Amino acid sequence: MRGSVATTYQFYKDLIIVHNNENPDDKFVAVGQSAFYDRVKKLPPYICDLKRYGKRYADKKYRLINSFTKSTRVMERVEIDHTALDLILLDDNLNVPIGRPFITVLVDTFSKCIVGFYLSFRGPSYNSVRCAVLNACLDKKDLLEKYPDIEKDWPCQGRIETLVVDNGAEFWSKDLERFSASIGMSVEYNPVGQPWKKPLVERIFNTYNTEFIHQIPGKTFSSAKDLEGYDPEKDALLPFDRFLHLLHIWVVDIYNQQPNKRRTNIPALSWQIGCQDFPPVVYQGAEKQRFKIESFPTVYRDLRPIGIEVDHISYSSEMLVEFRKNHPPPPGQKKHKLCVKRDPSDVSFVYVFLPELEKYIKVNATSQEFQLEGVSIFQYQVMRRLLNNYIEINTDYEGLALANMKLSERMDDIKENALAKKKSNLKGMKSVAAFIGVDTDGDTTFESVHRDLKSRDNAMCDSSEVGLTDSKIFEHVDDWHNIADDVEPYE
């Protein structure tokens, strides 16, 4: 309860009246209103705010201003965070509202420059962090060529020494841990409930909404009063691609170029000065490609005869086969367990790290269920779910059950008949079956051919000039099994 001092004083008097009525021999005398007010004014402000609003509010209100680590060079410390923009955007082609985007921003604490960002309609995730870090660390040449009307340069790039994050689940992921370790970037976690420990990125979000977003049709408001007579979805006019264009102009030509309110810093100028003294390590050539690969989510999979399987997709290549042929598994293991990196935006290939060769190789998908080129992990998961639902709907489980029961009954009958009959002692039954032609297009039993051969044997005995008996006739072909084995197959 957050009552005023007047209501608190009234509650105090009511408590005394109730006590005096219940304890006539031990009555209290209430202090006057002025004395009560004076006592309230003498309470520590922190205690008052702690009891009225909670510890988080009190700690934030009475924190030490600018109590964060100072930087001495560019890209030494970079803050990162996400927020949902107060803006509803339209689909580029359909021209229908698609909702509020999430933005992930990185700010260099030395120069105060926005060094990178990532915009998406999916919630914060490791992929958001990965894409934003890539945008911050790599050169912006191709991006600036995409928007030729941007006047200024965006030179921000280089290896991040320390990434300052909060305690969101996406920052505690194993993928971020592996990625940061592989590129030599440390991750510093901000104390829970103390966002002022990374004030720059928090301040930028406020600047986005007050200096940039507020003038765009489709802006949303948190106050019901501000929303009166205004429908953000109806009034939204800006497609996503157009907004992305404007956002780059605002970041490069306005935010990074304008002085702060105290007129003590221009982000772009501070970056230029910082690079003259301590230029950051930049990614180029093979190192740049390795940096991109290391950023991809990681899984570990066994190397099998079919290659490597991830999410029911098989990946294989000649180089992977050769590696399996020429390199035995580590001692104590039956198979190689390899590190696999996959681009979240394209599941048609993976990068597999071969420890003996100490390098990644690109391995293409061999699965034929879907057309996978250019398909993201999210899209593939949706496609698989749709396929599973389609198969589920069109599967005749009742018919399959009846067929399985019928097959089981037939197998039982065959087993009983086989046990009842005397086993044949004839030699080379497989060759006999081959001679007779037991197959899908011909006979399936010896019985019909046996009758035919018996009638022929009788005829031969009747017409024989020397009068050979049955046993003597077959005496000459007792070794027919070996003869059949020597016959060349025909085509």
Provide the 10 A C-beta neighbour count for residue 468. Answer: 14
**Pair 318, 446 in one domain:** no
**Pair 81, 184 in one domain:** yes
Distance CA 161, CA 184 (A): 7
Angle between helix 5-22 and helix 33-41 axes, rounded to 10 deg: 120
Residue 139: per-residue pLDDT? 94
Q: Residue 69 falls within a domain, yes or no?
A: no
**Three-state DSSP class for 56?**
helix
- The pLDDT confidence band at residue 234, using thresholds 50, 70 and 90, is low
**Pair 263, 131 in one domain:** yes
Domain that holds residue 254: 77-277
Distance CA 120, CA 170 (A): 15
pLDDT tens readout for residues 425-458: 455 666 666 666 666 666 556 566 566 656 655 6
Give the mean pLDDT of the chain.
80
pLDDT tens readout for residues 465-484: 554 444 444 444 455 555 55
Q: Residue 214 falls within a domain, yes or no?
A: yes
pLDDT at 327 over 70: yes
Give burial (CB, 10 Å; 0-12/13-18/19+) of 174: exposed
Radius of gyration of the chain (CA): 40
Q: In which element (H, E) is residue 63 found?
A: none
Amino acid at 130: R
Q: What tokens were used for 272?
A: 């230029």
Average pLDDT over residues 190-195: 64
Last residue of a domain, one of 15, 34, 61: 61
Q: Residue 284 falls within a domain, yes or no?
A: no
**Pair 153, 236 in one domain:** yes
**Pair 93, 186 in one domain:** yes
pLDDT tens readout for residues 330-368: 888 889 999 999 999 999 999 999 988 889 999 999 987
**Pair 456, 317 in one domain:** no
Q: Residue 222 falls within a domain, yes or no?
A: yes
pLDDT at 198 over 70: no
**Pair 106, 223 in one domain:** yes
Average pLDDT over residues 206-227: 60
Residue 46: per-residue pLDDT? 72
Are 218 and 232 in contact, with CB atoms under 8 Å apart?
Answer: yes
User: How much is the pTM?
Assistant: 0.68
Of the candidates 56, 52, 34, 32, the residue with the CA atom closest to the CA atom of residue 44 = 52
Distance CA 24, CA 186 (A): 69
Of 199-213, 375-389, 397-411, 443-457, where does mean pLDDT reach its minimum? 443-457
Distance CA 97, CA 92 (A): 10
Q: Residue 263 falls within a domain, yes or no?
A: yes
**Pair 317, 462 in one domain:** no
Percent of the chain with pLDDT over 70: 75
Instruction: Please tell me the total count of domains within the chain.
Output: 4
Are 372 and 313 in contact, with CB atoms under 8 Å apart?
Answer: yes
444-464 core/surface letters (b: 16 or more CB in 10 A; e: else) = eebeebeeeeeeeeeeeeeee
User: What Å distances lie between residue 390 and 351, 367, 369, CA to CA?
Assistant: 32, 19, 14
If one compares 447 and 123, the residue with the highest pLDDT of the two is 123
If one compares 137 and 237, the residue with the highest pLDDT of the two is 137
- The pLDDT confidence band at residue 320, using thresholds 50, 70 and 90, is very high
If one compares 46 and 245, the residue with the highest pLDDT of the two is 245
Residue 228: per-residue pLDDT? 47
DSSP 241-294: HHHHHHHHHIIIIIITTS--TTS---HHHHHHHHHHHSPPP---HHHHHHHHHH
Distance CA 253, CA 243 (A): 15
Q: What's the residue count for the chain?
A: 491
Residue 98: per-residue pLDDT? 80
pLDDT tens readout for residues 125-172: 999 999 999 999 999 998 889 999 999 999 999 999 999 998 888 888
Tokens 């570990």 found at: 300
Residue 307: per-residue pLDDT? 92
Tokens 């194993």 found at: 174
Bridge partners (DSSP) of residue 87 are: 219
Residue 381: per-residue pLDDT? 86
If one compares 59 and 68, the residue with the highest pLDDT of the two is 59
Average pLDDT over residues 275-302: 93
Q: Residue 66 falls within a domain, yes or no?
A: no
Last residue of a domain, one of 214, 249, 277: 277
Last residue of a domain, one of 277, 305, 325: 277
Q: Residue 108 falls within a domain, yes or no?
A: yes
**Pair 344, 268 in one domain:** no
End-to-end CA distance of the chain: 95
**Pair 111, 196 in one domain:** yes
Tokens 């200024």 found at: 152
- The pLDDT confidence band at residue 317, using thresholds 50, 70 and 90, is very high
Q: Residue 71 falls within a domain, yes or no?
A: no
Distant-in-sequence, close-in-space partners of 235: CB < 8 Å, separation ≥ 6: 217, 218
Tokens 């597999």 found at: 352
pLDDT at 227 over 70: no
Of 226-240, 365-379, 465-479, where does mean pLDDT reach its minimum? 465-479
**Pair 129, 269 in one domain:** yes
Output the domain CATH number for residue 263. Answer: 3.30.420.10
Strands 162-165 and 77-84 turn out to be parallel
**Pair 244, 192 in one domain:** yes
pLDDT tens readout for residues 261-288: 888 899 999 999 999 989 999 999 999 9
pLDDT tens readout for residues 77-98: 999 999 888 888 888 787 788 8
